[in-house]
Chain A
Amino acid sequence: MVNRKTAKFLSFRYTILAIILVVLAGGLVLLPKYEKHEGIKTEELLSNAVSPERYISTDELANKIISQDPSFLLIDVRSEVEFSKYSLPNAINIPLKKLLDEDSIMYLNQNQYDVVLLSNDNFYADQAWIIGNRLNYKNLKVLKGGINNWYKTIINPPIPTENMAAKEFDLYTFRKSASMFFGVVYPEQIKVTKKTEVKKVIPKKVIPIKKKKKMPVEGGC
């Protein structure tokens, strides 16, 4: 008899325990605020956002493309229309609106490649970077100045005036050769090739002349 009573009492306790634990679990579900608070701490996001570490200059990027550096991805966050007009070679187009779509996230959320975000100017690329940084994506960079700066420095580099340092001239020769790589044609290029063509004149035909051998005079002189 005593055993039965204790058995009943025991089961009662267990049910109370179970109810308390279920209520606690339910309480955890009611924390939608923490869902919105996803990502790194606000102070960290701010310090990352104001630091200029994320920028890569147009010269560096041109160097990477020309030397066929395989370790980076170019992501263009402009609209499809602008992307189809002109973009850098091998750039992937992810319009800013679709940055967090399922198929786009895999380009951002990986550790193998460095991702360089670019747009016409810094503005949209920076926004994309900040959103990615909040979600703690590593290896994100931004092209400083965007395509506008690409045009001003690489495609159409400014010719240094005579009173600038030699460094500027070296930079200019680099940028000019980079622009040739990306499709710009300079008049001097064509001239040179044509000249060599002119040199290829009809080969002189050399007609071998057989000299008549003079027979030695025999007999008396």
Chain B
Amino acid sequence: MKELEKTKRISIASVLFILVILIGLLTYKRPMHMYTINSKTTLENITSDNYLISLKDLENKEYALIDTRNEFEFQKGHLDNAINIYAPEILNEENTLIFNKLQEENKTIVLYSTNPNNVVAPFMVLYQLGVKNLKIATINNSYNQNKLITDNIDVEKSVADINAFINESIKKAAQQPKPKPIIKAPPKKVIPIKKKKKMPVEGGC
């Protein structure tokens, strides 16, 4: 009889346990945005894929251009056919719908901003969320008299050879004093002065 009670307790406990797990699984809310690739894969893809598009290639009208600057900058001047999605807001519901729609249409999405550095943040986040065909436009936007000027820019190009600069400065500095000949002052000779001896006064005092 005692053994039967034990098994009753165990079976009740196990049923409850299974129930708890089932309830947990059913009520678990999936986060709205989930990464689709892990960090290592992201790193590999980032360093091997070519996701940069130059200004010339933008002429192709198949691209969906997205301006990630704020509204004010967008109103000042933007590229033709560009949509404005401010970078910190790319995970909002309405913007997620836009991205999903573009994904379904299989369009290439090109992000741009004031310069390529500002686009890295939204690009990386969207990339890791699994948005396909995502590219960055390597352009620099500036304003001249309220008119938008767009130039192509090379990403991560070294501006100056610093070692050469330092060596040149050393050369320049070493060269300068040479044309001035250093005139060494002739050693001053110390001439012993012979003081005239005063002759003793002779004669009467």
Contacts and interface: CB of A to CB of B under 8 A. Distances in A.
B21 A24 contact: yes
Contacts of B34: 33, 36-37, 42
B125 interface: yes
A127 B46 contact: yes
Interface string A171-197: 000000000001111110111001000
B43 interface: yes
Contacts of B204: 221
Contacts of B176: 187, 190-191
B23 interface: no
Contact of B160 (A97, A156, A190): A156
Contacts of B44: 97
B125 A45 contact: yes
Interface in B109-146: 116-117, 120-122, 124-125, 128-129
A155 B165 contact: yes
Contacts of B182: 194, 198
Interface residues of A, number: 72
Interface string B23-36: 00000000101111
B120 A131 contact: no
A187 B178 CA distance: 12
B61 interface: no
Contacts of B163: 85-86
Interface stretch (A57-65, A67-75, A157-165, A208-216): A208-216
Contacts of B56: none
A121 B120 CA distance: 12
Interface in A106-143: 119-124, 126-127, 130-131, 134-135
Given A127-B46, A202-B187, A49 B201 contact: no
A147 B158 contact: yes
Chain A interface helix/strand/loop/mixed: helix
Central interface residue in B11, B39, B156, B182, by most chain A CB within 10 Å? B156
A37 B35 contact: yes
Given A38-B39, A189-B173, A206-B190, A217 B90 contact: no
Contacts of B170: 185
B124 to A, nearest CB: 4
Nearest to A204: B188
Contact of A211 (B184, B190, B195): B195
A29 interface: no
Central interface residue in A184, A186, A217, by most chain B CB within 10 Å? A184
Contacts of B76: none
A189 B169 CA distance: 11
Nearest to B88: A50
12 contacts: A42-B31, A42-B35, A49-B120, A49-B122, A86-B161, A97-B44, A130-B124, A131-B43, A151-B162, A155-B162, A190-B174, A205-B190
Interface of B: 3-4, 7, 10-11, 14, 18, 21, 31, 33-40, 42-44, 46-47, 87-88, 90-91, 116-117, 120-122, 124-125, 128-129, 155-163, 165-166, 169-170, 172-174, 176-177, 182, 184-185, 187-188, 190, 192-193, 195, 197-198, 200-201, 204-205
Given A17-B10, A42-B34, A151-B162, 4 more contacts: A37-B35, A39-B35, A124-B156, A134-B39
